[in-house]
Amino acid sequence: MRIANFLILAVTASFLAGCGINNVPTYQQAMKARWGDVENNYQRRADLIPNLVETVKGYAAQEKDVLTAVVEARAKATQMVLPADIINNPEAFKKYQDAQGQLSQALGKLLSIQEAYPDLKSNQNFLALQSQLEGTENRITVARKDYIESVQVYNTELVTIPGRWWAYWFYPTAKPAETFAAAPGSDAAPKVDFNKPKS
C-alpha cells in the first residue's frame, strides 16, 4: 500500500511540475531580479550626477538654470519612497518612471551645453564622466528591455491556460506587473539653442 501511495505521489508531482505549476513564481522572481537591475542602474546614474554638475559648474556657471534643473530632478528621483509593490502598483510605477524621465531630460540638456564651452568639451574629467554616463544610459536601456521582456513572460503566464489556473489555485496574490512605456514626445528630437545670450 505504501509503495502504491508513493508511486501515485511521484506521478502526481512529476505531472504538476511538467504542467508548469512553478512557472508563476519562477517568472515572478526573474521579473523582480530584472527590476532590481533597473533600479541599480538608475542609482548608478544618480551617483555620477553630483560630480558632473560640479565639473560643469566650473566651466559654465552661467548655465545656472540647467544645473539647478539637474540637481532638482536628481533629488526628486532619488528621494522617492518606493513601495514594496511598485511593479504591481500602476500609480507608483508611473510616478517613478516620470521622475526618471525628467532626470533624463535634464541630463540631456546639461550634456548638450558642452558645445557652447570648448574648455568644458575638452576637460578630461568631464569627458570621463560623460563616458560613464553614456555607458550607464546604455545599461539602463538594456536593463529596462530585459525587465519589459520578463514582465511580458510573467503577465502572459497569468492570463493563459494552464498558468491562469495555477495562479488562481496556488498563487492568488500574483498580480500583473507594470512595464515601461515611452514618454509622450520622446519620439521627437530635443531642440538645443547654443546661441542664447549668456547672463
Domain ranges of the chain: 23-170
Higher local confidence (pLDDT), 142 or 189: 142
What b/e readout covers 49-74, taking b as 16+ CB neighbours within 10 angstroms? beebbebbeebbeebeebbebbeebb
- Going from the C-alpha of 176 to that of each of 88, 90, 148, the distances in angstroms are 6, 10, 12
Residue 152 has pLDDT above 50, yes or no: yes
Q: Which of 116, 120, 143, 136 lies closest to 38, judged by CA?
A: 143
* d(C-alpha 144, C-alpha 128), whole Å: 24
* d(C-alpha 169, C-alpha 192), whole Å: 55
- Reported as a pLDDT band with limits 50, 70 and 90, residue 199 is very low
Residue 161 has pLDDT above 70, yes or no: yes
Q: Which amino acid belongs to residue 197?
A: P
Contact (CB, 8 A) for 13 and 129? no
Could you confirm whether domain 23-170 is CATH 1.20.1440.20?
yes
What number is the average pLDDT over the span 90-112?
94
DSSP line for 132-145: HHHHHHHHHHHHHH
pLDDT at 24: 96
The tens digit of pLDDT for each residue in 9-48 reads 544 545 555 578 999 999 999 999 999 999 999 999 999 9
pLDDT at 181: 83
The tens digit of pLDDT for each residue in 37-85 reads 999 999 999 999 999 999 998 888 888 899 999 999 999 999 999 999 9
